[in-house]
Amino acid sequence: MFDYQADRLKPLLSEIARENISPGAWSWLQEKILKESSVIVWGSAFVAMPRKTGKSIITLTEEQNKLIQSLRPGLSISGWTADRLGRVWLLLHADPSDREKYTGFIEGLFLTAEVNELSALYAALPLLAYPQHWIWRCTEGIRSNIGDVLQAIICNNPYPAEYLPEPAWNQLVLKAFFTEKPVHLIIGLDRRSNKDLANTISDYAHERWAASRPVNPQLWRCVGRFIDERIFPDIERLANSEDALDREAGALACRDSGYAPAKALLDKNIGLRSAIESGRLSWQILAEKIAEPA
């Protein structure tokens, strides 16, 4: 039914919710879960959430953060607003014993949701019962052009990496690059990288270069393990780039590769190899450099 410890996560999210909304809003939430979970009552509460809880960014302790990670690996609620937390908290209290009723209720919310409601629903995917049921819904969400919705699916959400088939996963990663989302926040990015994705990324880079358009250095994070004679010229181009971030990305891709020419290329650049070995250069550090204001 659930693929994580839902019964232990519920009280933790309750604690965080109590700390981040007014006593009146908390009482209102409690009233809703004590009532029969009808489509009308809970659907209305889902819509009304911002008026009751407000939209402030929640705060939580490092201990709470770590406990969430232990109970639902990959999930981060840092940066959530109070209304999103309230909506997800409400969904966690829906009775999953009747699968048809449970999934029908949540599907109904998807069909009528406005942007913030939809973002909360997608953020809730890793916490919903019957996780296999939501694969199609997640795949559909990736096709969205709504920034907040894509952010909820792509960033700090373990569901896609755990359940999407490879074509849908590859579409998610590419959409993240196309829409300039913080790709380093994609859970499972390294684990789910694959040969088809690497080849597509190489083709995409060629198109950008041909049009004299910039290429995000983080693209190559998905390529390193699949460098071969087809992709290696791209890595050589990075190594000879005038852009330091490109050179660093090329070095990191070589570090991840088992392809002999890529290893030899990294060995030629003692400075970058030393930075990688000492921990002064990593994909995370590169992401932080890219995010720095110009």
Query: Is the model more confident about 15 or about 2?
Result: 15
End-to-end CA distance of the chain: 48
pLDDT in tens, 260-283: 999 999 999 999 999 999 999 999
- Quickly count: other Cβ atoms within 10 Å of residue 195's Cβ: 13
The alpha helices in 143-179, defined as continuous H runs, are 147-154, 159-163, 166-178
Span 4-12, mean pLDDT? 90
Domains of the chain by residue range: 1-151, 193-294
pLDDT of residue 172: 97
Band (291; pLDDT cuts 50, 70, 90): confident
Q: Which residue has the tokens 């890219």?
A: 290
Band (253; pLDDT cuts 50, 70, 90): very high
All residues at 6 or more sequence positions from 57 whose CB lies less than 8 Å from its CB, including other chains: 79, 80, 81, 82
Q: Which residue has the tokens 């995370």?
A: 284
Would you mind telling me the total number of residues written for the chain in this entry? 294
Evaluate whether 127 touches 93 at the Cβ level (below 8 Å). Answer: no
Single-letter residue type at 110: F
| 199 dihedral zone (left: phi>0; alpha: psi -120 to 50; beta) | alpha
Single-letter residue type at 91: L
Evaluate whether 138 touches 160 at the Cβ level (below 8 Å). Answer: yes
* Cα angle 135, 137, 116; round to 5: 130
Note if the pTM is more than 0.85: yes
pLDDT of residue 3: 79
Angle between helices 23-34 and 82-92 (to 10 degrees): 20
Span 164-181, mean pLDDT? 96
* Whether residue 40 has pLDDT greater than 70: no
* Whether residue 41 has pLDDT greater than 90: no
* Whether residue 180 has pLDDT greater than 70: yes
Band (150; pLDDT cuts 50, 70, 90): very high
* Whether residue 294 has pLDDT greater than 70: no
Share of the chain above pLDDT 70, in %: 97
* Whether residue 235 has pLDDT greater than 60: yes
* Whether residue 37 has pLDDT greater than 60: no
Alpha-carbon radius of gyration of the chain: 22
Evaluate whether 218 touches 249 at the Cβ level (below 8 Å). Answer: yes
